[in-house]
Amino acid sequence: MASKNMMNEQMHEQMVELSNIRKSFGKLEVVKGIDLNIAKGEFFSLLGPSGCGKTTLLRMIAGLEVPDDGVVVINQQSMNGVDANKRPTNMVFQSYAIFPHLNVGENVAYGLIKQRLPKAELRERVDAMLKMVDLDGYYDRPSYALSGGQRQRVALARALILEPKVLLLDEPLSALDKKLREQMQDELRRIQRTLGITFILVTHDQEEALIMSDRIAVMFDGNIAQLGTPQEIYDKPVSRRVASFIGVMNFLEGKCISKNKTSIVVDVESLGQISFPRDIIPEDTSLDQLCVGFRPEMFTILYNKKDKAENEFSSIVKNVDYYGDMSYYTLSLPNSDKDIMVSMRNTSGRYVYDLGETIRVGWRSSSLLVLN
């Protein structure tokens, strides 16, 4: 937490400023007037389902697409009319786009050639960059002989060697298997911290965005639905849509039955009347039709007989998803046929419940969220 605050203090300077960016392809408007500032040295993610406009937005920052309207400012300079090859950005493509007719070293050196460095210096810089991405000694390898992870590293080295102000990553990890993806996530984060370069990552993988980013913009239908730190987005999603896109969320219907200046009382489906502080409810929420959400880990399974909770109910296990460290139980709420998902950490020695068993679930009203 402390390190995050420190980082926030360094983030005064804006690196990328987007104002009112619009883009249509034919009749379809894919980016609908986005305003966004990304600070220097930030690891920023554009997160959203496919077709939400995140890749188009990234490509407009890179200069590979021209916005129909709006201004892209990078490092205090307007990029309008500046072509991709003149921008202080470099990109790691989803397909990696490794040149097949060049070997690893030639691929990494591709953008450097223009600088007409002495041969020895060029070689030295390429070797240093290969070392940084953990491809030491790969200079002469033909590029077709590389694995997916290695191609990814070459693409990264090729972009980073030009010392861009902003590195753009278009779903760089989506083609890798889970183990390699997790390893690359750590590595990207390490490289970003070492170099202090602004990274903008496009991803549809919410977990990846939560793990890697300083801030996330959740995008739907060409708009930013929510902008915030990973914790803000996970803990306080602004809408039902964001909440269901990030992690698992259970939703219940609710209705406001009374309110005063400091609190409101909501009648929540099968949980009964619950009082919430007034300010947790977004202002434009219609009070007749409220949506109440909670995450699987916010309800606790009362494992021991003597475990107590503020509220509790019993339910029969309808389904078990066993992940090793965690189990996710599908349960039904009392007096309702609605299913909810509750998780339990499988601390050593704990028993994993079977289908049909009855378990006690405890919850606190403060762990419920009220959403649009």
DSSP string, 116-165: ---HHHHHHHHHHHHHHTT-TT-TTSBGGG--HHHHHHHHHHHHHTT--S
Query: Do residues 121 and 127 make contact, with C-beta atoms less than 8 angstroms apart?
Result: no
Q: Contacts with another protein in 142-161 (CB under 8 A)?
A: 142, 144, 158-159
CB 111, min distance to another protein, A: 3
Backbone angles phi, psi at 135, to 5 degrees: -125, 40
**Residue placing its CB nearer to another protein in the complex, 99 or 322:** 99
Residue from 31, 57, 62, 317 touching another protein (CB under 8 A): that is 62
Residue (80 or 275) nearer to another protein, CB: 80
d(CA 305, CA 295): 24
Q: Does 25 bind another protein (CB under 8 A)?
A: no
Touching another protein, residues 154-193 (CB under 8 A): 158-159, 162
Residue 362's CB: how many other CB atoms inside 10 A? 16
Cα dist from 110 to 120, 137, 163, 170, 171, whole Å: 15, 18, 13, 20, 22
Identify which of residues 110 and 251 has a Cβ nearer to another protein in the complex.
Answer: 110
CB of 87 vs another protein, minimal distance in Å: 8
Tokens of 172: 């760089």
Site stretch for another protein (CB under 8 A), options 71-79, 86-94, 183-191, 295-303: 86-94
Amino acid of residue 70: G
Residues 98-117 that bind another protein (CB under 8 A): 99-102, 110-111, 114
Which helix (DSSP H) or strand (DSSP E) does residue 235 occupy?
helix 230-235
158 and 108 Cβ atoms separated by less than 8 Å: yes
How many residues bind another protein (CB under 8 A)? The answer is: 26
Q: How many helices (H) and strands (E) does the chain have?
A: 9, 20
Which of 155/290 has CB closer to another protein? 155
Provide, rounded to whole angstroms, the least separation between the CB of residue 140 and another protein: 13
- What tokens does 124 get? 């030295």
**Please, are residues 49 and 198 in contact by the beta-carbon 8 Å criterion?**
no
- In angstroms, what is the minimal distance from the CB of 54 to another protein? 17
Residue nearer to another protein on the CB measure, 91 or 317: 91
Of residues 45, 55, 56, 90, which one binds another protein by CB under 8 A?
90
* Residue 233 binding another protein, by CB under 8 A: no
Q: Is 83 in the site for another protein (CB under 8 A)?
A: yes
Binding region for another protein (CB under 8 A) out of 26-34, 87-95, 119-127, 257-265: 87-95
**Which pairing describes strands 215-220 and 43-47: parallel, antiparallel, or unpaired?**
parallel
> Under the criterion CB under 8 A, does residue 94 sit at the interface with another protein?
yes
C-alpha span between 60 and 65 (Å, rounded): 5
Provide Rg for the chain, Cα atoms: 25
Displacement of CA 270 from its chain's centroid (Å):
33
Amino acid letter for position 169: L
Q: Are 165 and 75 in contact (CB under 8 A)?
A: yes
- Taking the CB of residue 300, how many other CB atoms lie within 10 A of it? 19
Residue 93 interacts with another protein (CB under 8 A): yes or no: yes
Residue nearer to another protein on the CB measure, 81 or 100: 100
CB 94, min distance to another protein, A: 8
Q: Which stretch in 89-97, 198-206, 289-297, 306-314 sits in contact with another protein by CB under 8 A?
A: 89-97
162/211 with CB nearer another protein: 162
Least CB distance to another protein at residue 96 (A): 8
Q: Cβ 65 to another protein, closest distance in Å? A: 10
Residues forming contacts to another protein in the complex (CB under 8 A) are 62-64, 83-86, 89-91, 93-95, 97, 99-102, 110-111, 114, 142, 144, 158-159, 162
